[in-house]
Amino acid sequence: MSNSHLFLKSGFPRAPLQNGLGRYVCQLQRITLKFCKNNGSSRGMRDFIENHLVDFAKENPGIVVYVKPRRHRTPVLVGEYLNGEREWLSCRNSTQDEISKWIDLLKTQNGSSSSLRLRKMWHTDVPSIQGPWTPFMLRSPDALSQKYPSSEASKPLDAPTTATEKLIELFKQQKLEDEADISKKHAK
């Protein structure tokens, strides 16, 4: 079992240099493709270089592409970012498609992401605009002028209404209805 995640750094989402506020700047600055000209483990890398590398370089004029042949070593991808980070990827025995996917990942990320566990999916500089909630918010100021001990405040909250109270309520309601009827008749 791997325990590597126990010592993994954790952090919060951040973007370098206020990226995206005015315009978006691609953070990948330089990509180096290292491969061997004869070895079978670099075959996918060689295919990629033959078929797709020129297109990739044309599509992304902001990224410098280096190609570095070296004898009898495994193929490697290295991306260097604006914030100085460097991501190293081994592409041993990987196919052309896999390599193009990894290159796409290197292009779209802001730095090496594998070494950070995110604790939140949200970052803000202004946490509250209407003010943080407090128990006193939108509450009537009666509570401040209350004098203790008060008989009202010391009653239980869930005291059920007694039968007498219910009867009184009913009586009052009836009275109101009668009054309404009388006023209607008068209006007619």
Partner 1 sequence: MAFLGQTMRHLCRQVQVSQRPLYLAGAMRSLSLTPACAQQQNKPKPIVSSTTSALDVAKNEQKECQSICERINQQVAQSEQGRLFAVVHLCGKQFKITPGDIILVEGYWPPTIGDEIRLDKVLLAGARDFTLIGRPILEAGLVTVKATVIEKTLTHTKTHFKKKRRKQYMRINFQRSPNTMIRINSIELAQPVVDDGTEQEESSKRLF
- Site membership for partner 1, residue 140 (CB under 8 A): yes
- Site membership for partner 1, residue 72 (CB under 8 A): no
- Site membership for partner 1, residue 40 (CB under 8 A): no
Please select the residue that binds partner 1; options are 50, 139, 167, 171, rule is CB under 8 A.
139
105 phi, psi to nearest 5 deg: -60, -45
Q: For residues 43 and 107, which CB has a smaller minimum distance to partner 1 in the complex?
A: 107
Contact criterion met (CB below 8 Å) for 27 and 81: yes
Spatial separation of the C-alpha atoms in residues 82 and 104, rounded to whole Å: 17
HSE, CB side, 13 Å, CA atoms: give it for residue 99.
30
Q: For residues 122 and 164, which CB has a smaller minimum distance to partner 1 in the complex?
A: 122
Q: In what order do the strands lie in the sheet with 86-90?
A: 64-69, 28-35, 76-81, 86-90
Q: Write down the least CB distance from residue 78 to partner 1, Å.
A: 17
Q: Tell me the three state secondary structure of residue 81.
A: strand
Spatial separation of the C-alpha atoms in residues 78 and 32, rounded to whole Å: 5
Please select the residue that binds partner 1; options are 61, 121, 164, 188, rule is CB under 8 A.
121
- Site membership for partner 1, residue 147 (CB under 8 A): no
List of residues contacting partner 1 (CB under 8 A): 1-2, 4-5, 8, 13-15, 19-21, 24, 26-27, 105, 107-110, 113-118, 121-126, 129-130, 135, 138-140, 142-143, 146, 148, 152-154, 157, 173, 176-177, 180, 183-184
